Amino acid sequence: MDKKSSEMVELKPGRRPTLEQVQYLKVRRASQYEGKTAHFALCVFNLMNAILGSGILGLANAMTNLGYILFTVLLVLVALLAFNSIRLLLDMCDLTGITSYEAIGRQAFGEGGKIVTVLSILTHTLGAMCSFLFIVKYELPEVLRTLTGAEECSSAWYLNGDYIVILVTLVIIMPLSAAKNIGFLGYTSGFAMACMIFFTVVIVIEKFIIPCPIYGMNSTVHHEEYHLIQIPEHIDNYTNTVAMATVSTNNNPTIEPAGVHNESTECVHKSALTQELEEALEQQQCEPEPFVISLKSAYAVPTMVFAFQCHASVLPIYLELTNPTKTRMQLVSIVSITNIFLLYFIASLFGYLTFFTAVGPELLLMYSYYDPDNIVILLARIMVLICVIFSTPLLHFPSRRSIENLFFSKYEFSWIRHLGIMVVLLSLTDILVIYVPTIREVFGFIGATSASMLVIILPSLFYIKLGLDPTCSFKKISCICLVVFGILFTIMSLTLIIFGWLQ
């Protein structure tokens, strides 16, 4: 490279690139990049799969804690925020010729900006991968138990969630994560989206089948005697939720939660429920509430932000789009976010209208409680499992890339390093899933911190620093407002969540 070319390609951190540098980098990127293998539809599937995951299971609970009108308004706003942040990232990519979220952070604020961006991406992607594998850990063994007809107390290895998580990681997730490029995952992503559409259709249908209230003192089924039965410990840890099963002394029909059998004396533990859960299950209300404000609402908005977080995956997907222009990638984003919004809203609304105030923090398990042997519900559980398993490699790509950009940005590609980082990240994810007891705090804490940084704060800060618009322009003023809002939102959400922990 001659002296002039070296000066053109070298961008000084913390400073806007010159117009000559931008043009040079765009031409250089277009001529050197060889991975444009994903057509428009595959990129849409990949971005949808990067967005959609365990978030769809927690949004019905968010509607319960906000009310259906407030939830709808906030979900629309969060979807718009997510698209606006993608647009800002694409603007930065187009402006600087840089195609990495971490490198944009370095260009805007030097090494400190790069480190903050990398930490935000790692925190989010690890948290999201953990939330996906939590579902595998606690759902897949129960699905296998139903399919094989195994006894509740069976100690078969395939009913152990820890073993299942490790096996799924080795057999499915690692091979998909080992590839150099992300584009080919569009085929698995398309299949995963079909699975989630099926799951959403099941939720709509079950709304007209499942009665409300399901059981408890307000149930239309009256019993002469009630006993409180706690869900087995492995399920209780999953959702921080316990359910009450009614045991009748006459011939009236009863409804039992998934995995609970009265004839078992070893696997079912009778105990008093906590006051909060006892009220939710015994005093289930079956009327929709338009507005709800409570301490639990602190988890709702972070859960929404978490559910729309895909920004770490946007630029890798953009790089592999055939004819990668900003306009085409913005269209990919619009189509993806719109489709995911519709899936989220339909699943949340009909899940809420099915269970109302009794909706737990994980929607799928609610249907399992009601009728674990129902073949349609069983298929829906399998569909969700397929989706979250196929979503994990998509989140692994940006986490591995962030580590490579932080520590190995000056080195040539190496398969040994590539696979070594993959093994370390997926092993760490499995360890966290095995030893962290609950999933509920993952949504709230990650949504309030790293997801807020990646969706709201960092893209706006980058544009304020690097954008060519004058400081008083509408675009930069709106970015300043978003940064202030993001900081206040993070502080408020964390304060309420921590206060809730202390109660």
119: number of Cβ within 10 Å: 14
Indicate the pTM of the whole model. Answer: 0.76
Tens-digit pLDDT profile for residues 206-226: 999 888 776 543 443 333 333
Give one DSSP letter per residue of 159-190, joined into a string: G-HHHHHHHHIIIIIHHHHT-S-SGGGHHHHH
β-partners of residue 269 are 230
Domains in the chain and their CATH numbers? Answer: 35-208+296-466+473-502 (1.20.1740.10), 213-285 (no CATH)
pLDDT score recorded for residue 4:
46
Q: What is the rounded average pLDDT for all residues in the chain?
A: 76
Amino acid at 461: L
Res. 367 pLDDT band, cuts 50 70 90: confident
157: number of Cβ within 10 Å: 9
End-to-end CA distance of the chain: 63
Q: How far apart are CA 437 and CA 241, in angstroms?
A: 12
Q: How far apart are CA 307 and CA 54, in angstroms?
A: 8
β-partners of residue 38 are 321
Residues with Cβ < 8 Å from 378, sequence gap 6 or more?
143, 146, 147, 372
Tokens of 316: 């890798």
Pairing of β 229-230 and β 269-270: antiparallel
Tens-digit pLDDT profile for residues 295-325: 777 777 777 887 888 887 888 888 878 877 8
470 prior amide bond cis, ω within 30: no
pLDDT score recorded for residue 444:
57
The kind and range of the H/E element at 229 are strand 229-230
Whether pLDDT at 270 is above 60: no
pLDDT score recorded for residue 438:
59
* pLDDT top residue among 338 and 45: 338
Q: How far apart are CA 195 and CA 52, in angstroms?
A: 11
Average pLDDT over residues 223-250: 37
Q: Note whether 55 and 307 are within 8 A (CB).
A: yes
H helix count then E strand count, the chain? 21, 2
Tens-digit pLDDT profile for residues 278-292: 566 566 778 888 888
pLDDT score recorded for residue 18:
63
